[in-house]
Amino acid sequence: MAIVTAPTKACAINPLKMSQPIGGAFAFMGLRGAMPLLHGSQGCASFALTLFVRHFKEAVPLQTTAMSEVATVLGGYENLEQAILNIYNRTKPKIIGICSTGVTETNGEDVDAYLKLIRRKHPQLTKLPLVYVSTPDFEGAFQDGWEKAVARIVELLVEGPNANGLRDPSKVNVLPGCHLTPGDLDELRMILEDFGLSPSFLPDVAGSLDGHIPAELAPTTVGGISVDEIASMGRAGWTIAIGAQMQRAAEVMQVKTGVPFRVFERLCGLCPNDEFMTFLSDISGRPIPLKYRRQRGQLADAMLDAHFHIGGRKLAIGAEPDLLFDLSGMLHEMGVQVTAAVTTTRSEVIERIKTNEVLIGDLEDLEELAKTRCCDLLITHSHGRQAAARLKIPFYRAGFPMFDRLGAGHQLSVGYRGTRNLIFDIANLVIAHREDNDRPTPDRWRTAARSTQYVRHRDFVRVTERSFT
Amino acid sequence: MSSLAATVQKIFDEPGCPTNGSKSEAERKQGCTKQLQPGSAAGGCAFDGAKVALQPFTDVAHLVHGPIACEGNSWDSRSAASSGSDLWRTAFTTDLSETDIVFGGEKRLCKAIKEIMDKCDPPAIFVYQTCIPAMIGDDINAVCKAASQRFERPVIPINSPGFVGSKNLGNKLAGEALLDYVIGTQEPDYTTPYDINLIGEYNVSGELWQVKPLLDELGIRILSCISGDGKYREVASSHRARAAMLVCSKSMINVARKMEQRYGIPFFEGAFYGIRDTSEALRQLARLLVERGAPTDLLARTDAVIVREEARAWAAIEPYRQRLKGKKALLITGGVKSWSVVASLQEAGLELVGTSVKKSTSEDKQRIKELMGQDANMIEEMTPREMYNIFKDAKADIMLSGGKSQFVALKAAMPWLDINQERCHAYMGYVGMVKLVEEIDKSLSSPIWVQLRRPAPWEALAKAMQQMQSAAAASACEPALTETARRAREICVCNTVDLGTIEDAICAHGLRSVAAVREHTNAVGGCCQRRIEEILASKPSAMRQAAE
């Protein structure tokens, strides 16, 4: 059981965390024809837009109510009204998802009431879903924004059970956490379809941000789950939630529609996928397809081949709770020691991470810990690049944002195959790093003590060094 | 110290700004922030602008006083380069929580400043104000003043919360902070008659270093660059420069003008983009320095360097002229660049089908007309759809723009090149212009475009099916139509050469090989090699003999 600590420092240095509103906006990006709208100053949207574009290398729809100083004093009703009308007239969206920011929350704006007024005043908006989520910048993190937005979408847009209460057992709802990539969603879709199930993903960022070339230029999202499909989710046989963050949305779904759910906290690693496959076989009534039996064998072999290289590594990892839990769990099962773990926000899973202590902190904390505890593998998002350069240890990029490498949207971690690829990627990174920095030389056993890679028992090494001189 | 509102008002009334100068009294009073349209606004906030303008000071700790969004969502995103300290790339933020907002964030800010002093010992800390602390009334000026005294180190308040206006306003507010608290507070170790300031130059991708060797060669010293690869001590003592160049006119005109007013440093607006403009800028710099008392031989030396460098640059561009001849480019950028690169692109053989003038002054527009003719296509505002249509109608071969519009071009499978701040190549100076032409050529001649524009196999199949069906229906009544349809079948997809053309060529010249067909028609003979071979095989040899 890990102890969760939060540092007492006043100045966060090199933040690991990103803000709640953009996590919320990201959830809306997985809806078809959607326009996420940040209720706040225009910079809030502009920073978020740049971040998403750099990560996905895709056009990303995101708008702002452009609150000025005066509007902040007078209240944001008019800005919100104008923004909604403008978006409605200019981009013809199927849904507008509104996230509050620090400015409007500090102001205490009652957006739900605003929306009622706006609807009354503008009857043309009657059929346009307007989903509002409260996501202040000054609490929580990216993952919390996503969690709240999805729960809210379920609450507002999923229809209750129909009169005869009929369900289609082949229909399955999937509620993926924000740590899954479009590539992961496509992998899951394929797995479910191979069991004869037809999945509905909410949100479905694979439909919008997988990098496909749309036939027509659109100012809104170019794919994702449609509002109608969301409405019909109550007729599914099961809801599968991926990541502990999705428990809440799954519960809301169950309360509203009676669809039973199961939460899979992890989908990376051999055992989690065994459980997943067993479950799918159960609910579909079909045997596990041959394809996955082969993939399981391949994963087992990958684990055999890679444990020589990954095993015993001291891992420093910084990620949002669910990603942290998933990746550190899989690596722990490969023989890695989770030596330093930093996360962004509170979550029930972080106590169960296989390490002594989890810090709710920033990348400076992670770098410090990695240095003092002599870690030799770093996993975090792209902002870890400066720390990695200083620490001179292999650095695997995982999570959001990943702006300095290509293919962020297609990095896989779920399923037997995704785990296999991930293990190979990390092992290869370790091998390459060793080849570049750790070639054996005749007198390395003397000098090794001085190179950073091998300073594992620093004090002991220093003593032996002294005795030589 | 004046209030933020007063400072903003002063900035709007900038006498050095030609746009402002041409306004009526009433218009001027309204200021120059366009009312932002909620729901269709784009661009950064004033905090963004201030941070962008000052962050390239490399040895300063930049502390953002606000919730996580302001720094956490945006840090380490600029590709400015540093020759020394990496401190500027470290993100510092007070990461305000709900409790701070209820009880006020000043104490946390004080503690944060102390922590930075203890950990990093920087020559100065810049503290950026953001919306929320501005709303709850955190007095960062007072905190910074107290901290400066306590730590005997400059702690500078940058009062530019996001909601006061646009990114451009933020640039200027950052400039005001420099004028109020930094410039003139230290003395340089020594001065020379060749000391200059570069104002509004951010050393994106290290591009300043493409010009610096020339200045070094001429003996011109950059006393301070505001702010690319700048150091605190340099900007603090920048008031001793002899002349200044305002590099990006829009962002820091207030700094240049007020430094002229206060310290008598003459300045001119110039750019190092494009060959002629680089030469012009170097000449101007030399002239200003000589006017301020530098030895007159500087002029002749400058001319010599210009002649040499221009010759080199034109020679390097020459090989591309033939390749780029007649290619059409669309330029979507702001201010100076809307014309400064035009001349060089034209010299490289490109034809400019349009340039954006959204952020350009009337003077900028005049220069565009001089370069592109009276009926130059000046684009005020272009929606993504309009841009997309330009490509779809093949009115342009390549677009040069900032990152935000890239997908319009790329998703239409058209070449695109980033020429704004996120770019990863340096396009400044003579070398930079050659690099730009090289990049344009690389992009235009990339083999991917032909492949990407090919229809997918199912589209091709569907089309063929459709053709076959309609052809079958038509041929039932009209044999001549059948023949036309047969001959219209596309053999070479890459260059659109139909069967008829190839048959005619075979008959007329008695061709026997694919190579020969290629010689006499436009057919590429690559992916269509098999099809041409089939035609050659199916042609009766008698026909060929007759031709021979």
Give the three-state DSSP class for B98: helix
**Residue B64 burial (CB < 10 Å; 0-12/13-18/19+)?**
buried
C-alpha distance from B100 to closest chain A C-alpha (Å): 9
Domain end marker among B182, B210, B232: B182
Structure tokens at A66: 């452009």
CATH number for B206 = 3.40.50.12380
Does A106 sit within 8 Å of B91, measured CB to CB? no
CB B275 within 8 A of CB B343: yes
Interchain contact A141–B (C-beta under 8 A): yes
Interchain contact A44–B (C-beta under 8 A): yes
Interchain contact B59–A (C-beta under 8 A): no
Residue environment code for A203-212, b if the CB has 16+ CB neighbours within 10 A, otherwise e: bbbbbbbbbe
| Residue B204 located in a structural domain | yes
pLDDT computed for residue B544 by the predictor: 52
Interchain contact A137–B (C-beta under 8 A): yes
C-alpha distance from A373 to closest chain B C-alpha (Å): 20
Cis peptide upstream of residue B122 (ω within 30 degrees of 0): no
Contact list, B69 vs chain A (CB under 8 Å): 18-19, 21-22, 44, 47, 101-102, 137
C-alpha distance from A234 to closest chain B C-alpha (Å): 32
DSSP A216-270: S--SS-SSSB-HHHHHGGGGEEEEEEESGGGHHHHHHHHHHH---EEEES--SSH
Give the three-state DSSP class for B485: helix
Residues of chain A with pLDDT under 50: 450-469
Asked if B526 and B476 sit in the same domain, the reply is yes
pLDDT computed for residue B506 by the predictor: 79
Does B385 sit within 8 Å of A106, measured CB to CB? no
pLDDT computed for residue A456 by the predictor: 45
Contact list, B164 vs chain A (CB under 8 Å): 68-69
Residue B474: which pLDDT band, with cuts at 50, 70 and 90? low
pLDDT computed for residue B464 by the predictor: 87
C-alpha distance from B396 to closest chain A C-alpha (Å): 17
What type of residue is B464?
Answer: A
Asked if B47 and B165 sit in the same domain, the reply is yes
Asked if B206 and B287 sit in the same domain, the reply is yes
CB neighbour list of residue A37: distance below 8 Å, 6 or more residues apart? A62, A63, A64, A65, A83, A84, A87, A96, A97, A98, A99, B39
| Residue B1 located in a structural domain | no
CB A304 within 8 A of CB A329: no
Weakest-pLDDT range from A99-103, A147-151, B61-65, B362-366 = B362-366
| Residue B89 located in a structural domain | yes
Interchain contact B457–A (C-beta under 8 A): no
Contact list, A83 vs chain B (CB under 8 Å): 38-39
pLDDT computed for residue A83 by the predictor: 97
Report chain B's mean pLDDT, rounded to a whole number. 86
Interchain contact A72–B (C-beta under 8 A): yes
Interchain contact A371–B (C-beta under 8 A): no
Structure tokens at B429: 């100076």
Residue B367: which pLDDT band, with cuts at 50, 70 and 90? confident
For residue B263, give its domain range. Answer: 195-312
Each residue's pLDDT tens digit, B231-252: 999 999 999 999 999 987 668 8
pLDDT computed for residue B34 by the predictor: 63
A residues 390-409 closer than 8 Å to B (CB): 403
pLDDT computed for residue A459 by the predictor: 39
| Residue B6 located in a structural domain | no
Residue where the block lists tokens 């080849």: A435
CB B79 within 8 A of CB B202: no
Asked if B277 and B341 sit in the same domain, the reply is no
Option in B100, B163, B422 nearest A68 (CB): B163
Interchain contact B171–A (C-beta under 8 A): no
| Residue B448 located in a structural domain | no
Contact list, A402 vs chain B (CB under 8 Å): none
Domain end marker among B291, B312, B333: B312
Domains in chain A, please, with CATH? 20-139 (3.40.50.1980), 168-290 (3.40.50.1980)
Asked if B396 and B513 sit in the same domain, the reply is no
Strands (E), B86-194: 92-93, 125-129, 155-158
Asked if B167 and B258 sit in the same domain, the reply is no
Bridge partners of A198, per DSSP, are A171
Contact list, B160 vs chain A (CB under 8 Å): none
Structure tokens at B356: 């954006």
Contact list, B90 vs chain A (CB under 8 Å): 13-14, 386
Each residue's pLDDT tens digit, B247-291: 876 688 999 999 999 999 999 988 888 888 899 999 999 999 999
Each residue's pLDDT tens digit, B18-29: 666 666 666 665
Asked if B338 and B303 sit in the same domain, the reply is no
Asked if B462 and B530 sit in the same domain, the reply is yes
| Residue B28 located in a structural domain | no
Q: Half-sphere exposure (CA, 13 Å, Cβ side) for B542?
A: 1
Does B112 sit within 8 Å of A67, measured CB to CB? no
Option in A45, A69, A103 nearest B164 (CB): A69
Does B97 sit within 8 Å of A138, measured CB to CB? yes
Kindly report the pTM of this predicted structure. 0.87
| Residue B397 located in a structural domain | yes
**C-alpha to C-alpha distance for B223 and B215, rounded to whole angstroms:** 12
**Residue A141 burial (CB < 10 Å; 0-12/13-18/19+)?**
buried
How far is the first Cα of chain B from the last one, in angstroms, to the nearest whole number?
96
CATH number for B374 = 3.40.50.1980
Chain A residue closest in CA terms to B73 = A18
Asked if B307 and B333 sit in the same domain, the reply is no
Interchain contact B96–A (C-beta under 8 A): yes
Could you tell me the strand order of the sheet in which A236-242 lies?
A198-201, A168-176, A236-242, A261-264
Chain B residue closest in CA terms to A88 = B39
Residue B475 has pLDDT above 80, yes or no: no
Asked if B43 and B178 sit in the same domain, the reply is yes
Does A10 sit within 8 Å of B108, measured CB to CB? yes
| Residue B10 located in a structural domain | no
Q: What is the CA radius of gyration of chain B?
A: 30
pLDDT computed for residue B274 by the predictor: 86
Interchain contact B384–A (C-beta under 8 A): yes
pLDDT computed for residue A359 by the predictor: 97
A residues 81-100 closer than 8 Å to B (CB): 82-87, 90
**C-alpha to C-alpha distance for A393 and A377, rounded to whole angstroms:** 6
Does B74 sit within 8 Å of A51, measured CB to CB? yes
Each residue's pLDDT tens digit, B181-203: 999 999 999 999 999 999 999 99
Contact list, A107 vs chain B (CB under 8 Å): 135
Does B95 sit within 8 Å of A12, measured CB to CB? yes
Interchain contact A300–B (C-beta under 8 A): no
The share of chain B scoring above pLDDT 70, in percent, equals 88
Interchain contact B138–A (C-beta under 8 A): no
Asked if B175 and B200 sit in the same domain, the reply is no
Asked if B304 and B337 sit in the same domain, the reply is no
Does A22 sit within 8 Å of B163, measured CB to CB? no
Residue B1 has pLDDT above 70, yes or no: no
CB neighbour list of residue B248: distance below 8 Å, 6 or more residues apart? B200, B201, B202, B335, B336
Could you tell me the strand order of the sheet in which B267-269 lies?
B221-227, B195-201, B243-246, B267-269
Question: What's the total number of domains in chain B?
Answer: 4
Phi, psi of A243 (to 5 degrees): 100, 140
Residue environment code for B249-265, b if the CB has 16+ CB neighbours within 10 A, otherwise e: bbbbbbbbbbbeeeeeb
Domain end marker among B129, B156, B182: B182
